Structure formats: C-alpha cells, structure tokens
Amino acid sequence: MAFMFLRESIRAYREQDPAARSDLEVLLCYPGLHALIWHRAAHAMWRRRLYLFARMFSHLGRFLTGIEIHPGAKIGRRLVIDHGMAVVIGETAEIGDDCYLYHQVTLGGTSLHQGKRHPTIGNKVIIGAGAKVLGPFTVGDNARIGSNAVVLEAVPPGTTVVGIPARPVERQRAKDLGHEPFDAYGSPEEGLRDPLLREIESLRAELSEFEARVARMANAQARREGQRVDD
C-alpha cells in the first residue's frame, strides 16, 4: 500500500513536472512528496484518535517542508504539490485524485465553528500559486483556479476562475488550441499570454509590414527614375 502510494505519486510528479529527471530525484528533492509522506503517517494517527501525536507529526512535516497539512485533512491519490512552500491545508479540507497545487495555496476556513469549514476539492483540479480557497464549498472536477485568486463560493466542474473574488472566465486558450491545454505547470504558454509581450509581438509585425511597404515604394521609385534616365 505504502509502496503503491510512493510509486504513483512519484510517477505523477514525473509526468507533470518537466524539471523532474529521475524517480530518485523526486523521492529525495520534492518537498511536496515529503509533506504527503508525513501527512499519511499523521492522518493514520488522527484516525486512531492519537490527536496529539498526529499534530506533532504534522508539525514536524511542516518544519521540514514548509507545507502545513492538518492531520485531519483527507487527501486523494497522486496529489502533486509543486514547490510547496507556504501551502496550508485545513482540518476539514478534502482533496480528490490527481489534483495539482502550487506554492502558497490555502485551503482554509472562514468561521470558528468546529464542523466542516474547509473546501472539498474534486478530481483533477489545478490550483495556481497563491490562490486561497476559503469556506466549506465544493470545487468541481477539472476546475482550474488561477494564481492569486480568492475563491469564496462553489466552483462548477470544468470551470476556470480567476481574480478576487474569483469569477469564472472564458477559457480562451482551450478554444484556440481546440483541446484541453493541461500541460506541465498548468499555465498558458509563458510570454505570449503576457500582455506586454503580446503588444511587442504586434508592434513587430506592424513594423515588418511597414518596412516591406517602404521597400516596395523605393523599388518603384528606382524603376521610375531609371525610365526617366533612359528617356
């Protein structure tokens, strides 16, 4: 069981992080994986009502990885926590299978009552760096939460939400590509999505067109002058 957890978790990292070069590298150098190993132990103690030991294990995991996962949190299979630092996953949070979280993600609560107060995340959800998902609602399967979004209400399956407070957006990139764009890092092609770079690209295209027109005009002028000399 533990072996299977390790094997499929390592495979998930290798499939989704182009920087991962070998299984051994993932095993030794990925704090997200280490945090999950600590969490498995802490969660097993939590389920046996060894609450203090569970908290101590979880605290040790946090100290070593910078990732804080409450031992009560329920985490599905093949979760990838990329970079990891400052991730916080609350006590009643639940995460489905094949999810992808970046650094500084918070799955938090907004109330002090002791019941369910953290989100339930479906399967194959991507949560961008710095996003905060706050409250006891559900984020549907295949949803995408943009980096730095603050999500305060349920997200329907397959929806991309961005901003503060997070709102659904049209998935332009998926439309342009004509297929699901999940790629390593779950982000658009860096650069071309940057508005400044897009502006530079369009200015460069206009400049090339302008240069071509000037060259055509110069050629025409040269031809006319050549004809005049002949006459």
Nearer of residues 54 and 79 to ligand COA, judged by Cβ: 79
Residue 96 DSSP class? -
Task: Output the smallest distance, CB 4 to ligand COA, in A.
Answer: 28
Nearer of residues 13 and 102 to ligand COA, judged by Cβ: 102
Task: Output the smallest distance, CB 184 to ligand COA, in A.
Answer: 9
Question: Can you tell me the distance from the alpha carbon of 169 to that of 161, in angstroms, rounded to the nearest whole number?
Answer: 6
Which residue from 154, 128, 126 is spatially nearest to 142, judged by alpha carbons? Answer: 126
Q: Which residue has the tokens 């090339």?
A: 208
Nearer of residues 169 and 214 to ligand COA, judged by Cβ: 169
Nearer of residues 138 and 148 to ligand COA, judged by Cβ: 148
Q: Which residue has the tokens 């953290």?
A: 118
Query: Helix 31-47 vs helix 51-65: angle between axes, to the nearest 10 degrees?
Result: 180
Task: Output the smallest distance, CB 222 to ligand COA, in A.
Answer: 45
Residue burial 89-117, b: 16+ Cβ < 10 Å; e: rest = bbbbbbbbbbbbbbbbbbbbbeeeeeebb
Footprint of ligand COA on this chain (CB under 6 A)?
83, 102, 126, 128-129, 144, 146-148, 160, 162-163, 169-174, 181, 185-188
Task: Output the smallest distance, CB 128 to ligand COA, in A.
Answer: 3
Residue 225: C-alpha distances to residues 40, 106, 219, 220 (Å): 84, 72, 10, 9
Nearer of residues 164 and 203 to ligand COA, judged by Cβ: 164
Nearer of residues 55 and 171 to ligand COA, judged by Cβ: 171
Task: Output the smallest distance, CB 117 to ligand COA, in A.
Answer: 25
- Greatest Cα pair distance, the chain, in angstroms, is 105
Task: Output the smallest distance, CB 148 to ligand COA, in A.
Answer: 6
